[in-house]
Chain A
Amino acid sequence: MSTATQPYLVFDEITKTYPGVQALRGVSFGVEKGTVHALMGENGAGKSTLLKALSGAHQPTTGCLLIDGHAHVFASTSAAMAAGVAVIYQELHLVPEMTVAENIYLGHLPQRGGIVDRTRLNELAAIQLRRLGEDIDPACKLARLPIGQRQMVEIAKALTRGAKVIAFDEPTSSLSAREIEKLFTVIRDLRREGCAILYVTHRMEEVFRLCDACTVLRDGAHVRTHPSLQTITPDVLVKDMVGRDITDVYGYQPRAHGPVALHVSGLAGPGVLSPASFTIARGEILGLFGLVGAGRTELLKLLFGATPATEGSIQVHDVPVKVQSPADAIRAGIVYCTEDRKKEGIVPIRSVLENCNLSARRKHVSLGGVINETWERKNALTQTTALAVKTPSLDQLIKHLSGGNQQKVILGRWLSEDVKVLMLDEPTRGIDVGAKSEIYKLMFKLAAEGMAVLVVSSDLPEVLGLADRVLVMRQGRLADEFSRADAAPERVLAAALPIDTAAA
């Protein structure tokens, strides 16, 4: 498909310097017309910065973009759009309270004498949506669409502006398996129509299924561009990304299990439709697998008291505990690392110190609730050192840390408590390969010390690589259980698939 001439989109020696950080160091590579080009790298490798230069959100310090041979430095996102560039971010830039059609044509609504021509608007939008194989009512409010369809709306929006260069930033991170299939079909269509597509992802499997070429960044520098993925293996890309071999990502070793740490019987509540009963032993890692929306997070939130359970009981180390709020759960030794770090984990505008001590500080106060600053600083230092958190200081605002480091601070917050049951909800989502393996190691270490670990992940290999035993949830119910030996990927996945749509 590629031609001998210059690629359609070329990054030419792009550098970007922020105060104190060299985010990009002379990145150069090309994306051919009619190809899907993967962009990979650990968090902090410079992928987002590169996308920002492409979208016009930020300007490179030096270097420029070539589109169809013409040099550009986009001063704004509208300049990039005018040149036919669209970047589709993880967090979609849509207005939930407006209709689908309005969102697609936002900024250039069809009008007649200053009045929006609604009939034409809806007609045009319907045509765009049909082109993407979507049967969505254009007059429907965006907020009523599931996330997968919203992404289609974003793509339609890009297409109406005549985008010839489309960049996707981890588009599948919150999609279901079926939505992913649909998205891939659309991306393949776009490729056939001659778009140059840049596809940022952490998921190796997607690269090999979807992409034609792949570029790897590391520490802001261009490592390598593979013009074809025919002859290379995932190991090669991982090596490019981390600069070393990762032979066994998980490093699982069997452990001895102690007596039961957590005994759950008949727990039900919002999102968990039929009562769930299970146990976890001390030193055991229990994996909880299921598709998005199967009720995994909801089950953890019931256990943590974040949503009230309607029935059921919980025992921790053989002592019945009443969990009606997160505070109750924490006191009983059950802690929970949330799936959505940004929304439910960190307090972004407070320091690492503050975020680390948010919970455990209550145990170290003097009369009248006066906090013990010496203890807090010492504890935060201990935790961040033990977890190898990379931060310039404890007083750094946590929002300036990378995702992996934020996750470690949250872990530090919980490890400051007397934890008996550690619940982790998608602990490695959006985290780079290096930090991932550190978190895996930590989980094994904590389990070896006798902690019971309950881990939820959408990444099947991850669940199978970590867990001693796997529970599967399906449509709000605990559907199946596998020992590590029995947990073949196909069997676990089959148990997770919805029954009524499994044929589809």
Chain B
Amino acid sequence: MTASSVPASSPKFGGAAALLDRAGMLLILALLVVVCSFTVPNFASPNNAESVLLQVSTVGIVATTMLFCLASGNFDLSVGTLIPAGGVLCALVLKDTGNLVLAIGAALGFGALVGLINGVVVAKCKINPLITTLSTMMMVKGVAFVFADGKSIGIANDAILNLANAAFPIFHNARGGVLFQITAPVWICFALFFLFGFLLNRTIFGRNTLAIGGNEEAARLAGIPVDRVKITIFVLQGAIAALAGVLLASRMGIGDPKTAQGIELSIISACVLGGVSLTGGVGRMSYVIAGVFIMGIVENAMNLLSIDSFYQYIVRGAILLSAVLFDRFRTRR
């Protein structure tokens, strides 16, 4: 009864098991890349790598804050319409004023405002986040259509187009064309992976987020400002979704209210696929990165194999379901 045994590091959970827990899905991702490289024609080409990176960047950017949302035991659907709305707003302000800073600021500000509404309603009024963000998702969709008058808005501003297509490094092929490059949206996505990964692991804000998701009442009684943390998460989520929308619009050259339909579910499923718990309290950025890329690569491979998009839905759903079943099996043992 008196003997205390607290070794500084665990004998049972050290080494391989812990590594597998942290990196399990990353290993599966690596395996997937290897398998696809050998079996899918044109997969292992610099050009395709570039397009995969660009493809996943939108989902990846928003998934960084969705990780916080899910880890705190919450949920945000409104990102699905905030992405097009952010693009539309940016394009509109650009068209009217030509001021890039103002345009991006307006989009991010609008995203943050919607996030603030979500956060206050969820944290203070104790309304289920699913219902709250479902409602704001619809409202934001309406707002985007009203602003755009139902049409897509062209972007003629060179500054933003250059920004979206800025690339480093750029490799050229023998004929002088671009062989491989990493463009700004991809770098921004990577930067956000790093930033929010750091926030989650190493800051009070991040640890409080996980504690709230793990046991909200215990967190509150430990002196954690639960409401403030939740509202902050939703505000960040809104702003980041709008940012993703701005980047998407500048890449496409139009602010289109009809773009990115259903992307909220891709974002959430990428997180869950990676191992982020839907009930909160469990999440790591490595999970999100793995989930985002696994989803993106599977989609890319199916496109390269010219699989009909109808079948793609079935495969993607099946992958998600098997991932969560596998996770349940793993944690049960």
Contacts and interface: CB of A to CB of B under 8 A. Distances in A.
B12 A392 contact: yes
Contact of B221 (A306, A349, A368): A306
Contact of B210 (A348, A350, A381, A393): A350
A361 interface: yes
A414 B183 CA distance: 49
Contacts of A347: 210-211, 214-215, 218-219, 281
Nearest to B331: A349
Given A348-B215, A369-B205, A435-B1, 15 more contacts: A20-B12, A306-B220, A327-B223, A327-B224, A347-B218, A350-B210, A359-B224, A361-B207, A365-B204, A369-B204, A371-B207, A381-B8, A385-B6, A393-B10, A393-B12
Interface in A292-344: 304, 306, 325-327, 329-331, 336, 338, 343-344
A330 B223 contact: yes
Interface of B: 1-13, 18, 202-205, 207, 210-211, 214-215, 217-225, 277, 281-282
B7 A327 contact: no
A394 interface: yes
Given A368-B203, A371-B202, A438-B1, A345 B6 contact: no
Contact of B10 (A336, A381, A395, A434): A395
A384 B4 contact: yes
A284 interface: no
14 contacts: A242-B1, A304-B221, A327-B223, A338-B221, A345-B221, A347-B211, A358-B211, A358-B218, A365-B203, A368-B203, A392-B13, A393-B9, A395-B9, A413-B222
Contact of A395 (B13, B222, B277, B281): B13
B215 A392 contact: no
Nearest to B4: A388
B79 to A, nearest CB: 25
B14 to A, nearest CB: 8
B218 A344 contact: yes
A344 B13 contact: no
Contact of A349 (B18, B205, B222, B282): B282
A354 B221 contact: no
B8 A358 contact: no
A28 to B, nearest CB: 26
Contacts of B5: 390-392
Interface string A250-264: 000000000000000
Contacts of B207: 354, 358, 361, 371
Contacts of A330: 223
Nearest to A394: B6
Nearest to B12: A392
B1 A434 contact: yes
A346 interface: yes
Contacts of B281: 347, 349-350
A343 B12 CA distance: 27
B219 A358 contact: yes
Contacts of B4: 384-385, 388-390
A344 B202 CA distance: 24
Interface in A374-389: 377, 381, 384-385, 388-389
Contacts of B214: 347-350
B282 A361 contact: no
Contacts of A348: 214-215
